[in-house]
């Protein structure tokens, strides 16, 4: 039987002062509402980030004093702005929203805030936010991912040549595990930018980054090979994500800049 999930939203007013201590860790999942090609739903990032956060907090929340915040569903997704239905925040708005969240967390007894980022397009901003919240409110701030995006050093399936950054094998597999009712594999097609994969430097995960929109490569809007996705692979990846995030939270619980 799974443990209850410790959610800030379930507490009553006076309980915040009694249950949130200097040892407490808040987890803020970040999703997105953006196109994921013809085979996956708009809420893919939200579904995955929320599920990993809930399962991990359920597993280690009591031991490590972790509390779950509601998932932020709208984030910086303007690489998909061309697609009708994508709802995204500008960089300025998102920085302001995350600053507001940090300010509010700093008014509790907690000292640590972890962003579990389900959308790779948020990563650069989160690196900025981590430092800004540290400077402005004294919080210890961290960013983790359900899995490291391939364009940021993570791996992707062999058939994707390291290019499976959006709606590919891994992401589709996890959705087949979590929400198969939202996946249409009859519309899954391989879309890998093979010419870029041959580059040494200017490529996803290379030493030279570049600005891009998701339809710069293919009209379908996804980048990867979902045709090899399976629910079995998705289950393994999901369980690994929960395990890894739990281990990360354990390290975060004792982290204090080497002191």
Sorted by sequence, the CB contacts under 8 Å of residue 118 that are 6+ apart come out as: 29, 30, 31, 32, 45, 46, 48, 49, 50, 52, 145, 146
Q: Which residue range is the domain that position 174 belongs to?
A: 8-254
Give the angle 228-192-143 at the CA atoms, nearest 5°.
Answer: 85
Please report whether residue 226 resides in a domain.
Answer: yes
Is the pLDDT at 153 greater than 90? The verdict is no
Please report whether residue 259 resides in a domain.
Answer: no
The per-residue pLDDT for range 6-22, each reduced to its tens digit, is: 999 999 999 999 999 99
CA distance 18 to 15: 5
Q: Which two tokens mark 37?
A: 């090609």
Please report whether residue 1 resides in a domain.
Answer: no
Pairing of strands 25-30, 140-144: unpaired
The per-residue pLDDT for range 59-81, each reduced to its tens digit, is: 999 999 999 999 999 999 999 99
Q: Which two tokens mark 229?
A: 């996705």
Please report whether residue 154 resides in a domain.
Answer: yes
Please report whether residue 53 resides in a domain.
Answer: yes
Q: Which two tokens mark 258?
A: 């080497």
Give the pLDDT mean for 147-173. Answer: 91
Side-by-side strand order, sheet with 140-144: 66-68, 25-30, 112-117, 140-144
pLDDT at 157: 87
Number of structural domains found in the chain: 1
pLDDT at 174: 98
Sorted by sequence, the CB contacts under 8 Å of residue 78 that are 6+ apart come out as: 88, 90, 121
Please report whether residue 2 resides in a domain.
Answer: no
Is the pLDDT at 2 greater than 70? The verdict is no
pLDDT at 3: 77
Please report whether residue 234 resides in a domain.
Answer: yes
- Distances 62 to 23, 56, 104 between C-alpha atoms, Å: 12, 11, 22
19-55 burial: b if 16+ Cβ within 10 Å, else e = bbeeebbbbbbbbbbbbbbebbbbbbbbbbbbbbbbb
pLDDT at 1: 47
Domain at 174, CATH number? 3.40.50.10310
* Residue showing tokens 């002062």: 17
């Amino acid at each position: 039987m799974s443990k209850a999930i410790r959610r800030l939203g379930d507490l009553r007013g006076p309980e915040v002062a009694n249950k949130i201590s200097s040892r407490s860790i808040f987890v803020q999942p970040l999703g997105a509402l953006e196109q994921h090609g013809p085979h996956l739903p708009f809420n893919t990032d939200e579904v995955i980030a929320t599920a990993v956060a809930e399962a991990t907090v359920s597993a280690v929340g009591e031991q490590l004093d972790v509390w779950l915040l509601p998932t932020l569903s709208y984030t910086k997704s303007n690489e998909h702005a061309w697609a009708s239905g994508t709802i995204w925040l500008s960089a300025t708005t998102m920085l302001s929203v995350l600053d507001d969240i940090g300010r509010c967390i700093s008014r509790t007894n907690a000292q640590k805030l972890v962003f579990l980022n389900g959308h790779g397009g948020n990563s650069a901003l989160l690196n900025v936010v981590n430092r800004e919240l540290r400077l402005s409110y004294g919080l210890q701030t961290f960013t983790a991912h359900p899995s490291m995006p391939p364009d940021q050093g993570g791996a992707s399936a062999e058939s994707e040549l390291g290019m499976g950054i959006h709606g590919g094998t891994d992401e589709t597999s996890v959705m087949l595990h979590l929400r198969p009712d939202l996946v249409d594999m009859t519309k899954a097609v391989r879309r890998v930018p093979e010419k870029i994969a041959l580059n040494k430097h200017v490529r996803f995960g290379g030493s030279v980054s570049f600005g891009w929109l998701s339809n710069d490569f293919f009209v379908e809007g996804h980048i990867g090979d979902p045709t090899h996705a399976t629910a079995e692979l998705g289950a393994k990846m999901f369980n690994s994500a929960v395990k890894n995030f739990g281990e990360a939270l354990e390290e975060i619980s004792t982290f204090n800049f080497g002191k």
